[in-house]
Amino acid sequence: MKKVLICDPDDLFRCNLKYVLESKGFVVQEASRPSEAVKYVLKDGFGVVIFNLQPDDLNGVQIFSAIKAIDYKLPVIIVIDGDVSLSSVSSIIHESFRLFQKPVGYNEIEEAVREAIQAKVDSK
């Protein structure tokens, strides 16, 4: 499934990443808030979620866990804003498909999306 959910509060990042992914043939849904992302995951099927995690955001960690509880096989690519201590997100790092720190290239994320979708297909 080439359907991607991007959850990031940065409008410009979401818009640019959506443009890149759609130009490569992906169907993209956007969410600006993590709570929105959970609603979309509950309602729609996705091949992968790109999830922004703010530094020391315990709510973001809880939302990530909620997404994985809905579909534990759903690959989640985490994008972290700014400096973050790995200890604050260590509980979810092992559950994420890939972890990037901004600034990150859109092509790097696109490659990770392809790999995540393929991994999900292969796990069935």
pLDDT at residue 90, as a whole number: 72
Q: Tokens 């790109």 belong to which residue?
A: 50
CA–CA distances in Å: residue 14 to residues 82, 121, 124: 16, 25, 29
Q: With respect to CATH, is domain 3-122 assigned 3.20.20.80?
A: no
- pLDDT of 63: 86
What is the pLDDT, as a whole number, of residue 95? 86
Q: Which pLDDT does position 83 carry in this prediction?
A: 67
At 57 the pLDDT is 63
79 SS3 class: strand
Instruction: Tell me what pLDDT residue 109 has.
Output: 98
Residue in 45, 49, 47, 43 with CA at minimum distance from that of residue 30: 49
**pLDDT at residue 87 in the model:** 64
Coil vs helix vs strand at 121: helix
- Break the chain into its structural domains and give their ranges: 3-122
Question: Whole-angstrom distance between the N-terminal and C-terminal Cα of the chain?
Answer: 12
Block means of pLDDT (10 residues each) for the chain, 124 residues, are: 92 97 97 91 94 74 88 92 67 85 94 94 80
Are residues 93 and 65 in contact, defined by beta-carbon separation less than 8 angstroms? Answer: no
What is residue 75's predicted lDDT score, i.e. its pLDDT? 95
SS3 of 98, please? strand
